[in-house]
Amino acid sequence: MAIAILMPSIEPSMRTGRLTRWLRRPGDFVEAGEVVAEISGAHGTTDVEAPQAGILTHIFVAAGGEAIAVNAEIGRIEPGPPPPARSPASPRARRLAREADVDLSPLAGRGPHGRIVEADVRAALDRRAAQEAGRMAAGGARSLGQAAEGAPVVHLEVECRLDALEVFRARLNARGLAPRISLLDCAVKALALALARVPEANVARAGARHEPARRADVAIALGHEGEIVAPTFVSANEMALDEIAAARADFLAGRFSSDSFEECACLIVNLGGLGVRRVLPAVMAPWTSVLGLGAAEQRIIVEQGRPAVATMISVTLAIDRRAIAEPAAGALLAAFKALIEKPEGLVEE
């Protein structure tokens, strides 16, 4: 059964509005809730969403025309499946791709079952900008400086001692609960607490701008069905270690919830299991900082003037300098290191 797309109201007193543009064309498949048009009224603009999934068969009102009465039919959708060749992409990803002229067909999605999400499109835009900057750099020293200003990444590194954390984890895991709490689980919790304590280092992307993140979310890079995905622990600072461990186990098993791919500001890349001693990660959208974890290993350190053997790990923080300043990044690393080396703080909050 066909369903009408109606002119919405921005506010209770609104009687008419103007359709400023259509984002889809007749014959396009749309999903329920996908933004198909934009309208403007006396006090602002708003999106027009598809009331159901199907084919946009009719557009009755052209963009830029006369004012249209609220609840007037401006378009119509007929039930129907998407074309077989359609890229599996979210509505927000398709809208951004259309506005930025990004071809979705070559993109690998990080969403559930390989779905292309908004973060994948933003990453493609960053890659395109980097390529354009690189071409500019080939023209001479002036262009090279401009390219460097476009994506300034800074790396900071600390060494964390893990002996106390290993005793702490052994005590927790002795309770026999499954899954067992891992070093990565503790790193997620420590980073989230550090982000909450150092808000100037918890900065999210907002289009071409940056703004303080609303929560202390942390994503982790994982391999899934031959691809790299980055599920998110939402408000990880408020999660217990048991909850983080359970969520990590779900992620590893490919069980993702509706908020598993929430965009966040910080990502953890853990290559310690591969024997990599030191990680120097890149930073790409949607993240503004990436924490790289190397391999835990026994090393000889100097303790009170004498050599001692300790279990150590190299931790590197990569930041987008446009979003986070070095002092804030240093404070974030210091807070993370303190929580890893004195792990009782991981259960205090």
Tokens of 163: 């002996």
Tokens of 175: 């309770």
CATH code of 1-85, in short, is 2.40.50.100
User: Of 268, 236, 243, 259, nearest to 112 (Cα)?
Assistant: 259
> How confident is residue 138, by pLDDT bands cut at 50, 70 and 90?
very low
Among 8-12, 52-56, 130-134, 314-318, the range scoring the smallest mean pLDDT is 130-134
Residue 112: the pLDDT is 66
**What are the start and end residues of each CATH 3.30.559.10 domain in the chain?**
152-347
For range 122-145, the mean pLDDT:
52
pLDDT at 136 over 60: no
For residue 88, what is the DSSP state? -
Dihedrals phi, psi of 49, to nearest 5 degrees: -100, 150
For range 290-303, the mean pLDDT:
94
Specify the higher pLDDT residue, 325 or 349. Answer: 325
% pLDDT > 90, the chain: 49
* Cross-strand partners of 46: 39
**What are the start and end residues of each CATH 4.10.320.10 domain in the chain?**
87-151
pLDDT at 132 over 70: no
Q: Give the whole-angstrom CA distance, residue 109 versus residue 46.
A: 28
pLDDT at 134 over 50: no
Q: For 87-151, which CATH superfamily applies?
A: E3-binding domain (4.10.320.10)
Burial of 135 (0-12, 13-18, 19+ CB in 10 A): exposed
**In this predicted model, what pLDDT tens digit does every residue of 52-111 receive, in sequence order?**
889 999 999 888 878 889 899 999 999 887 665 445 788 778 878 877 778 887 787 777
**In this predicted model, what pLDDT tens digit does every residue of 246-286 receive, in sequence order?**
999 999 888 888 778 888 999 999 999 889 999 999 998 89
Tokens of 114: 């390989």
Q: Give the whole-angstrom CA distance, residue 250 versus residue 328.
A: 33
**In this predicted model, what pLDDT tens digit does every residue of 213-228 receive, in sequence order?**
999 999 999 987 777 8
Among 45-49, 84-88, 113-117, 220-224, the range scoring the smallest mean pLDDT is 84-88
Helix/strand/coil for 154: strand
At the topology level, CATH places domain 152-347 in Chloramphenicol Acetyltransferase (3.30.559)
